[in-house]
């Protein structure tokens, strides 16, 4: 079987020959291959509010790839995670492990629409192949859907308990405010509006708890826990649960849920003599039907035992760690993140941590290759103090400007309700590919393949230029870009403060990180005593520069490896094509200096093909994820963590990513060793790992809960289900031994 990667490569070379694109189509027509819309007939059904149903009829001898399906929402539409059935598993010679569909497939996609939206518009992309001779694979095919939204349904008749006045609690709740509005026709409601919680004392020995939810929301019975706070000698008895609605849940299986309103009598055990108030803590979880599921919510309510007055629940002061569950696979994509503990770091402490973190960042392996460029330029400055000062200032300017851009972007995204983590830009495959090409170009320049002129300085291609402020400035920019996969000691506390502090304070922290990163070169530029320690320039400098090109090549290899984990062999092939074409472009650029204007103009053709390769790289969908079993490692999920904690099992949670250099260093030095595995077995600790290489809302929520700006994040939950303790970003074997044995 042949796969479609050659078609992508042909598209990259389209400027050379249109014939390469026409040949497969002509062959398909000559051999009776069906048009793509006949081989895969798609029908859509939007008659169910909040859920789009899709059905493919697949012709005989054809199949669809599960991992090649992509759904993009139109204006006013927000899509949840597509519910796709498991496919037939096999190993593709190009993609590796894949799942495919034959004959037919049914899928569903939950969605919400913005107010005023009248049409359900989205694009559906899929790809498949013909599996008998002639074996061909179609290019990715996209169909645009434009469907009318289902008419609003008539409101269901309210149950008697829904009417104010049917009992004291409902009447009191009605007096507190109007009932929550329905969230079925728009975005999900905030948890305080979706699940209103209140309580009163029914009599001397019974409480009556009530949850009120708008239409389309439901509450899990078995995910609800109740307890009394600060009530020595008292406890709650078994709740008197009313009959609920049977529900088949994607993760919990057969469960009981409650729609609309739940009134729950709960007995009080113990002697209430002398007590006038009780504080009830309720932890519960619910979902929007056909939409998202909320993280575990914890509310406190103080009940007046003498007056019988209604008490409305408020968020508990001590938040419960995240235990979000998605009724659909992507429920957490828009779920409200768990509450986070207040920051206790002062601005001054955060600035000092940022300065120290920036200094240490110079020693991290992700930054060292780029610093080699700066080191060469400093050494080449020789005994010219003025030149060293100009270089130091230009480099510092590039560093500070880059950190300022990062800080402003984080503040802006945070203000708009989005989250951005340190290093999360490397979750974007296109950016990884572009950065790999830039690093590769710098290496070629240091190897002497090309010498950029001053005219290219402002484009960023002059990073390796032997002189000029522009080259030093963009060296600083590149240093910040490649520093993002690393988290140095002291940086964690500073970044945590910046991600939760005020706008001005956050910007100051990021600028101080830049000062720390640039400080060594500032000192060399402005302190003559330090400059005298530098060796004198000579012919050996050219050899040193060529030697330092090889760390740049290794950095490009590492970025290619990251891309392979994100998008598979297709993306790697396109990136390698882009690199070869980039090398051709730079080589011809250098050669064209002696060939006049016409010779230089020919550089445009391979440069366009480089951009085409990168464009198609950005279109490659993520490969089908196949669960990998690793001895002693449990894949992170909020449900598994909550279950383990409830059972009193000690758990070490490791949030990592393939592009995180600090994470990889910790794994090789500590976490992926025989001694660590023996330590886990000896202490009975479960090692749970979350992969943030690609975007994962559940992991993002966990990071936000612990004020972590990114990965790595290590949290140790002790035996007995206590609160998690955050560990340093740089691990040692001795630290892990102390941490895990403390749970015995």
pLDDT digits (tens, 9 = 90+) for 118-139: 888 999 999 988 888 877 888 8
Q: Report whether 229 contacts 300 (CB < 8 A).
A: yes
* Structural domain includes residue 559: yes
Choose one of 619, 648, 671: the last residue of a domain: 619
H or E stretch covering 335? none
- Residue 64 has, within 13 A of its CA and on its CB side, a CA count of 33
Distance of CA 268 to the CA centre of its chain: 44
- Strand order from edge to edge, sheet including 206-212: 235-236, 261-269, 206-212, 196-203, 311-312
Domain that holds residue 274: 160-333
Q: Which two tokens stand for residue 736?
A: 């892990």
In this structure, the answer to whether residues 141 and 57 fall within a common structural domain is: yes
Q: Which two tokens stand for residue 410?
A: 């984080």
* Structural domain includes residue 282: yes
By residue count, the chain amounts to 744
In this structure, the answer to whether residues 394 and 277 fall within a common structural domain is: no
Choose one of 273, 301, 333: the last residue of a domain: 333
* Structural domain includes residue 670: yes
Q: Which two tokens stand for residue 521?
A: 């070169």
Q: Which two tokens stand for residue 158?
A: 């309210």
- In the 8-state DSSP scheme, what is residue 49? T
Q: Which CATH number goes with the domain that contains 89?
A: 2.60.40.1250
Distance of CA 29 to the CA centre of its chain: 43
Best CA proximity match to 298, nearest among 245, 227, 231, 233 = 227
For residue 12, is pLDDT > 60?
no
In this structure, the answer to whether residues 495 and 614 fall within a common structural domain is: yes
What is the mean predicted confidence (pLDDT) over 639-665?
A: 86
Calculate the average pLDDT of the chain: 74
Q: How far apart are CA 616 and CA 361, in angstroms?
A: 34
Give the residue, 531 or 451, on which the prediction is more confident. Answer: 451
In this structure, the answer to whether residues 575 and 518 fall within a common structural domain is: yes
In three-state form (DSSP H/G/I as H, E/B as E, the rest C), the secondary structure along 364-414 is CCCCHHHHHHHHHHHHHCCCCHHHHHHHHHHHHHHHHHHHHHHHHHHHHHH
Q: How far apart are CA 209 and CA 263, in angstroms?
A: 6
In this structure, the answer to whether residues 198 and 79 fall within a common structural domain is: no
Q: Residue 220: phi, psi to the nearest 5?
A: -80, 135
Q: Report whether 495 contacts 707 (CB < 8 A).
A: no
Best CA proximity match to 304, nearest among 199, 225, 226, 232 = 199
Within 8 A by CB and 6+ apart from 610, the residues are 437, 578, 581, 582, 585
* Structural domain includes residue 155: no
Q: How far apart are CA 203 and CA 206, in angstroms?
A: 5
Q: What share of the chain is helix, strand, coil (3-state, %, to 5)?
A: 40, 20, 35
In this structure, the answer to whether residues 676 and 598 fall within a common structural domain is: no
For residue 210, is pLDDT > 70?
yes
In this structure, the answer to whether residues 59 and 93 fall within a common structural domain is: yes
Amino acid 320: pLDDT? 39
> Is beta strand 96-101 parallel, antiparallel or unpaired with respect to 136-137?
unpaired
Handedness of CA 381, 384, 385, 387 (dihedral sign): negative
* Structural domain includes residue 244: yes
Q: Report whether 173 contacts 198 (CB < 8 A).
A: yes
Q: Percent of the chain, pLDDT > 70?
A: 70
For residue 507, is pLDDT > 60?
yes
The string of pLDDT tens digits covering residues 559-578 is 898 888 888 888 888 889 88
H or E stretch covering 264? strand 261-269
What is the mean predicted confidence (pLDDT) over 654-672?
A: 87
In this structure, the answer to whether residues 438 and 534 fall within a common structural domain is: yes
In this structure, the answer to whether residues 104 and 179 fall within a common structural domain is: no
For residue 462, is pLDDT > 70?
no
Classified as helix, coil or strand, 708 is: coil
Q: How far apart are CA 81 and CA 326, in angstroms?
A: 10
Strands (E) across 28-171 are located at 40-45, 51-58, 62-65, 70-73, 77-79, 88-92, 96-101, 104-113, 119-126, 128-130, 136-137, 141-148
Best CA proximity match to 51, nearest among 103, 106, 100, 104 = 106
Q: How far apart are CA 522 and CA 530, in angstroms?
A: 11
76: left (phi over 0), alpha (psi -120 to 50) or beta: left
In this structure, the answer to whether residues 486 and 591 fall within a common structural domain is: yes
What is the mean predicted confidence (pLDDT) over 704-713?
A: 80
For residue 153, is pLDDT > 70?
no
399: left (phi over 0), alpha (psi -120 to 50) or beta: alpha
Choose one of 100, 118, 148: the last residue of a domain: 148
* Structural domain includes residue 627: no
In this structure, the answer to whether residues 415 and 301 fall within a common structural domain is: no
Amino acid 417: pLDDT? 46
pTM above 0.85, yes or no: no
Give the residue, 66 or 3, on which the prediction is more confident. Answer: 66
Q: How far apart are CA 350 and CA 505, in angstroms?
A: 9
The string of pLDDT tens digits covering residues 33-61 is 888 888 999 999 888 878 889 999 999 98
Best CA proximity match to 216, nearest among 289, 290, 110 = 289
Give the N- to C-terminal CA distance of the chain in Å, as an integer. Answer: 55
Q: How far apart are CA 426 and CA 220, in angstroms?
A: 37
- Residue 609 has, within 13 A of its CA and on its CB side, a CA count of 25
Amino acid 374: pLDDT? 63
How many structural domains is the chain composed of? 4
């Amino acid at each position: 079987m042949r796969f479609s990667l050659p078609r992508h490569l042909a598209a990259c070379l389209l400027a050379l020959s249109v014939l390469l694109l026409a040949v497969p189509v002509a062959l398909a027509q000559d051999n009776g291959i069906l048009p793509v819309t006949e081989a895969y007939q798609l029908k859509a059904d939007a008659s169910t509010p909040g859920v789009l149903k899709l059905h493919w009829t697949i012709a005989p001898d054809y199949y669809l790839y599960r991992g090649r399906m992509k759904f993009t929402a139109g204006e006013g539409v927000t899509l949840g995670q597509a519910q796709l059935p498991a496919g037939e598993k096999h190993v593709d010679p190009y993609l590796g492990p894949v799942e495919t569909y034959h004959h037919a497939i049914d899928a569903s996609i939950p969605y919400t629409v913005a107010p005023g939206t009248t049409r359900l518009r989205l694009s559906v992309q899929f790809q498949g192949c013909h599996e008998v001779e002639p074996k061909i694979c179609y290019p990715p095919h996209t169909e645009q859907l434009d469907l009318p939204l289902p008419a609003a349904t008539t409101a269901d008749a309210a149950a008697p308990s829904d009417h104010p006045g049917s009992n004291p609690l409902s009447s009191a709740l009605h007096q507190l405010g109007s009932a929550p509005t329905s969230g079925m026709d728009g975005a999900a409601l905030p948890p305080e509006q979706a699940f209103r919680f209140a309580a009163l004392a029914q009599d001397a020995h019974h409480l009556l708890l009530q949850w009120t939810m708008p239409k389309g929301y439901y509450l899990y019975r078995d995910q609800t826990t109740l307890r009394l706070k600060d009530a020595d000698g008292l406890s709650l008895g078994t709740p008197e649960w009313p009959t609920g609605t049977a529900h088949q849940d994607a993760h919990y299986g057969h469960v009981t849920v409650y729609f609309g309103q739940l009134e729950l009598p709960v007995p009080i055990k113990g002697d209430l003599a002398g007590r006038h108030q009780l504080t009830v803590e309720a932890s519960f979880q619910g979902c929007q039907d056909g939409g998202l599921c909320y993280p575990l919510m914890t509310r406190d309510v103080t009940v007046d035992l003498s007056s019988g007055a209604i008490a409305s629940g408020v968020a508990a002061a001590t938040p419960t760690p995240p235990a979000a569950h998605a009724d659909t696979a992507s429920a957490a994509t828009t779920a409200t993140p768990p509450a986070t503990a207040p920051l206790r770091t002062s601005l001054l402490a955060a600035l000092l941590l940022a300065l120290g973190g920036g200094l240490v960042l110079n020693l991290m392996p992700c930054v060292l290759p780029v610093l080699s460029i700066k080191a060469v330029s400093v050494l080449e400055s020789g005994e010219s103090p003025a030149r060293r000062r100009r270089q130091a200032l230009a480099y510092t300017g590039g560093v500070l400007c880059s950190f300022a851009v990062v800080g402003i972007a984080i503040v802006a995204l945070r203000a708009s309700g989005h989250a951005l983590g340190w290093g999360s830009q490397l979750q974007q495959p296109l950016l990884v590919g572009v950065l790999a090409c830039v690093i590769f170009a710098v290496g070629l320049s240091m190897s002497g393949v090309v010498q950029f002129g001053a005219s290219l300085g402002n484009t960023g291609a002059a990073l390796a230029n032997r002189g000029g402020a522009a080259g030093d400035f963009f060296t600083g920019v590149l240093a910040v870009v490649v520093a993002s996969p690393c988290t140095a000691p002291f940086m964690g506390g500073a970044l945590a403060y910046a991600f939760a502090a005020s706008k001005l304070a956050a910007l100051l922290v990021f600028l101080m990180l830049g000062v720390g990163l640039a400080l060594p070169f500032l000192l060399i530029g402005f302190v003559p005593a330090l400059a005298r320690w530098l060796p004198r320039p000579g012919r050996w400098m050219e050899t040193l520069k060529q030697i330092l090109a090889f760390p740049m090549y290794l950095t490009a290899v590492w970025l290619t490896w990251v891309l392979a984990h994100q998008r598979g062999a297709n993306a790697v092939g396109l990136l390698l094509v882009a690199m070869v074409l980039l090398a051709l472009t730079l080589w011809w650029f250098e050669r064209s200096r002696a060939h006049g204007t016409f010779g230089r103009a020919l550089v445009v053709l391979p440069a366009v093909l480089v951009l085409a390769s990168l464009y198609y790289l950005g279109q490659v969908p993520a490969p089908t994820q196949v669960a990998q079993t690793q001895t002693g490692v449990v894949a992170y999920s909020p449900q598994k963590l909550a279950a383990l904690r409830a059972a009193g099992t000690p758990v070490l949670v490791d949030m990592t990513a393939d592009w995180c250099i600090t994470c990889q260093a910790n794994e090789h030095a500590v976490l992926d060793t025989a001694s660590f595995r023996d330590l886990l077995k000896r202490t009975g600790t479960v090692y749970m790992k979350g992969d943030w290489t690609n975007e994962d809302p559940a992991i993002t929520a966990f990071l936000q809960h612990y004020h972590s700006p990114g990965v790595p994040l290590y949290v140790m939950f002790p035996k007995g289900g206590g609160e998690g303790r955050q560990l340093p970003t740089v691990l040692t074997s001795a630290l892990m031994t102390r941490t895990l044995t403390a749970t015995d």
